[in-house]
Amino acid sequence: MEYTTLGRTGLRVSVAGLGTGGFSQIGIGQSENHAVSIIHQAMDLGINLIDTAAVYGTEHVVGRALKGVARDSFVLCTKASKPIEDASFSVAKILESLDGSLTRLGLDYVDVFQLHAVPPAAYDFVRNEIVPALLREKEKGKFRFLGITETSPNDHEQVMLQKAAATADTPWDTAMFAFNLMDQVARENVFPLTLKNRVGTLMMFAVRSIFARPAQLADTMKDLAAKGLVPADLAASDEPLGFLVHGGGATSLTDAAYRYVRHEPGVDVVLFGTGDSAHLKANVASIMRPPLPDADRAKLKTLFSHLRGVGLEMPPFATARRAAAKAG
């Protein structure tokens, strides 16, 4: 495993980070014991950064897995979200979420506490009202560093993060956001700011189902080609990104996707989720491999840097939560 410093936090973190939400939720659907074993296997592979959230429903399992583990051997990140049924963020509910997370995790503090899925319209309120309240909780020792995450599928230009990372005195020590083979907006809109102001970066959406399901990728390319957004020859192939898989290049499309994100200047940690031991090992192996050939990276930039919102599918628990809120 390779390690890096997470922005200005000074935390030494593995370049591969285990996410406990997403589509897999660390395999909690099989059993809690299975999910605990996935976390332990990840740590055995050298992963020391684990990311969870109150809304994921996995904090209690993460707490079980970390019980008895030396506290200085892992970096734990969690998040508080705006309740889906609420019109806006609430200071009281965010503070309640923080305390609930500590209880479920069985920890005295978390390393990074993040405001989750903040849309552009809510940023000023979050910055002016919630941040001061959270910094008072930080002074009490409940968390070490403050982070923010974007609502990727609903903020394709990453407007919120452009505000959040704009100045050297930003209160945000870390930022979590999307970047992938076909959604490259952060290269121009976010990384210059996070690098300049030393905001640690946690990458999400490196691999979603579009890069793991050939039929979905092919259908997406056909749709994009019909709109004139990608060359027609990509739509004519059942493997439109097959050019990435070759001797000296990637071993698979998912391998290419992880390596593409991992070696982008400005990336600190690539998050991934899995509930499968073999996938865990394969993902870590990909993240640890060298960059893609320069010619392949250049071709991806030429083909897709103008696209917006591709490969940002919401995980099932998030879409189900939204549907339940609308029904209720």
Catalytic residues: 56
Of residues 9, 119, 47, the one with CA closest to residue 271: 47
Q: How far apart are the first and last CA of the chain?
A: 46
- Show the tokens assigned to 193: 């700011």
Rg from Cα positions in the chain: 19
DSSP letters, 181-197, are TTB-THHHHTHHHHHHH
- Closest to 300 in 3D by CA, of 255, 246, 267, 256: 256
d(CA 214, CA 32): 31
Strand bridging mode 12-14 / 3-5: antiparallel
Q: Which residues pair with 203 in a beta bridge?
A: 177, 270
Which residues share a beta bridge with 77? 51, 112
How many C-beta neighbours within 10 Å does residue 141 have? 9
Nearest to 112, CA basis, from 126, 128, 127, 101: 101
Number of Cβ atoms within 10 Å of the Cβ of 309 = 15
